[in-house]
Amino acid sequence: MNNKPTTQSTAPSLLKLVACFIYEALTVIAIGFACAGLFLWLAGDATHGVKRFLLQLFLWTLVGAYFVRCWVKSGQTLAMQAWHIKVVNQENKTLTLNQALARYMLATLSLLLCGLGFLWAFFDHGQLFLHDRLLKSRIVSVAKNN
């Protein structure tokens, strides 16, 4: 029996994207708490100054490492696996390291701009996030072979 997921060319529904986004946020919060605890245990109080900046950079880097590794390895984060979706490039393959890094940087910028790049999907004819539109990547549905 082959349990390898196969990629379909269909875009997931907006409801599925929103649900995955919420699940993803919970994952990032968990990673953030664990990593912040480690940082605070090693460095002490980080409520101001350079330590606060270093904590923020540390968290942003580790969350980025999680996303980039998942996108390059399988195209799926934990939340994407649960919702049977994955991110692929123009060739319908997992992202390269450079594509994944660029996607993370652009997604971060989008969040800093009040989430506008994510809201873009509500108006995009292909339901793509702005960073996916710019990078020519897309999120597709994944089905399991039975």
- The tens digit of pLDDT for each residue in 52-74 reads 999 999 999 999 999 999 999 99
Three-state SS sequence of 59-112: HHHHHHHHHHHHHHHCCCCHHHHHCCEEEECCCCCCCCHHHHHHHHHHHHHHHH
pLDDT of residue 79: 97
Q: Which residue has the higher pLDDT, 2 or 47?
A: 47
8-state DSSP, 74: T
**Pair 124, 133: CB distance under 8 Å:** yes
pLDDT given at position 145 = 58
User: Does residue 4 register a pLDDT over 90?
Assistant: no
Does residue 6 sit in helix, strand or coil?
A: strand
The answer to whether residue 139 scores a pLDDT higher than 60 is yes
Phi–psi pair at 140, nearest 5 degrees: -125, 160
Mean of all residue pLDDT scores within the chain: 92
pLDDT digit string (tens) for 84-126?
999 999 999 999 999 999 999 999 999 999 999 999 999 999 8
Answer for the pair 46, 52: CB distance below 8 angstroms, yes or no. yes
> Across residues 120-138, what is the average pLDDT?
94
**What is the reported pLDDT for 7?**
58
pLDDT band at 8 (very low <50, low <70, confident <90, very high): low
Residue 6 pLDDT level (bands cut at 50, 70, 90): low
Provide the 10 A C-beta neighbour count for residue 103.
22
Residue 5 reports pLDDT greater than 80 = no
Predicted confidence at residue 24, as pLDDT, reads 97
Radius of gyration of the chain measured on its C-alpha atoms? 17
Structure confidence at residue 71 (pLDDT): 98
